[in-house]
Amino acid sequence: MPTGDDQETLLLSVDFEDWHQLVRRRVGVSDWERPGPALGRQTEAMLRLLDELGVRATFFILGMTARAHPHLVEGLSRRGHEIGCHGDRHVPVHKQTPEEFAADLRAARATIEDLTGQRPVGYRAPAFSITRESRWAFEVLAAEGFEYDASQHDSPRIRRRVVPSRDAPHPLELTDGTLWEFPVAVWRRGPRARVPVGGASYWGVLPTSLVLEGLRASGPMAGLYLHPHELDPEPLDALLPSSASPSQRVHGVVRSAQRNVARRRAPDVLRAIAGRHRLIPYGDAHAELSGGAATRS
């Protein structure tokens, strides 16, 4: 991997979830929670690419996906990647009470600890869903023993989003406890214009040169995020059961088509980014900035 003083560091993460579980639940088919058929090959492609680039990432693990694919989660941990938490059921934070949110965190963490022997200290909310009305979530995270959050994303597509007070990593002001915030990379092109260059879902619609220019402008230690389905070597197909209704089928086709655009381009865009930036897991950055011990063994 190239190194050098002019290479700004970026933080690499994967929201580790089973696309088929989520799309089947969204479409409303029964038995949506059973393991999807593609996460194994997606994970293999992801790990191969990270090895090729010589980088480690933070995998924010979804509890219900970990229970469906325990061997995959064990493998991520064995390969030396940082294990973080993406909650348990992928329910938007703003749709939960503080008590439900705490219970969701505990359920995910119990599953993850059981499989990996590691206690995750970093959290990424499903769909960046800590809104201005659910800022209490940061207090809950600190109270539950989390040390950093990576959920603030100033993307115009996120309604009622919390705009980070700074683009660089920073400790949040809490009534009790400490929690670091690591915002996702966003390119600010004017007082109002924001280009969310940190997410692989956007890499499908932006020229690579613009993604690189935007990341250069996003500041040091900005966050990148991918999903396993964005590295799927095969086209995505919702594979709905034969009992699915016509409207469920249409919904499945639309979800597949949207995701396939990003999927085709993500590996090469990540290679281009890795050619210009040092990519590290969030936990390494947190350890460096907070002066704490490294969060991986």
Which residues here bind Zn ion, judged by CB under 5 A? 15, 17, 126
* Least distance to Zn ion, CB of residue 15, Å: 4
- For residues 225 and 246, give the distance between their C-alpha atoms in angstroms, rounded to a whole number: 33
**Quick one: 227 or 277, whose CB is closer to Zn ion?**
227
* Least distance to Zn ion, CB of residue 90, Å: 6
Q: Quick one: three-class SS letters along 64-80?
A: HHHHHCHHHHHHHHHCC
Q: Which residue is nearest to Zn ion (CB)?
A: 15
**Quick one: 196 or 219, whose CB is closer to Zn ion?**
196
**Quick one: 59 or 277, whose CB is closer to Zn ion?**
59
DSSP element (H, E) containing 55: none
* Least distance to Zn ion, CB of residue 227, Å: 7
Q: Tokens in use for 258?
A: 């949207």
Q: What is the CA radius of gyration of the chain?
A: 18
- For residues 53 and 257, give the distance between their C-alpha atoms in angstroms, rounded to a whole number: 28
* Least distance to Zn ion, CB of residue 86, Å: 6
Q: Tokens in use for 119?
A: 């206690």
**Quick one: 17 or 230, whose CB is closer to Zn ion?**
17
* Least distance to Zn ion, CB of residue 13, Å: 11
- For residues 252 and 111, give the distance between their C-alpha atoms in angstroms, rounded to a whole number: 29
* Cβ atoms < 10 Å from Cβ of 275: 12
* Least distance to Zn ion, CB of residue 18, Å: 10
Q: How far is CA 12 from the centre of its chain?
A: 9
User: Residue 277 gets which letter from DSSP?
Assistant: S
* Least distance to Zn ion, CB of residue 84, Å: 12
Q: Where are the alpha helices (DSSP H) in 57-207?
A: 63-68, 70-78, 98-116, 136-143, 200-203
User: Residue 184 gets which letter from DSSP?
Assistant: B
Q: Residue 49 in contact with residue 231, Cβ under 8 Å?
A: yes
Which region holds residue 160: left if phi is over 0, alpha if psi is between -120 and 50, else beta? left
**Quick one: 126 or 267, whose CB is closer to Zn ion?**
126
**Quick one: 58 or 277, whose CB is closer to Zn ion?**
58
**Quick one: 36 or 126, whose CB is closer to Zn ion?**
126
- For residues 218 and 116, give the distance between their C-alpha atoms in angstroms, rounded to a whole number: 33
* Least distance to Zn ion, CB of residue 167, Å: 22
Q: Residue 283 in contact with residue 295, Cβ under 8 Å?
A: yes
**Quick one: 15 or 149, whose CB is closer to Zn ion?**
15
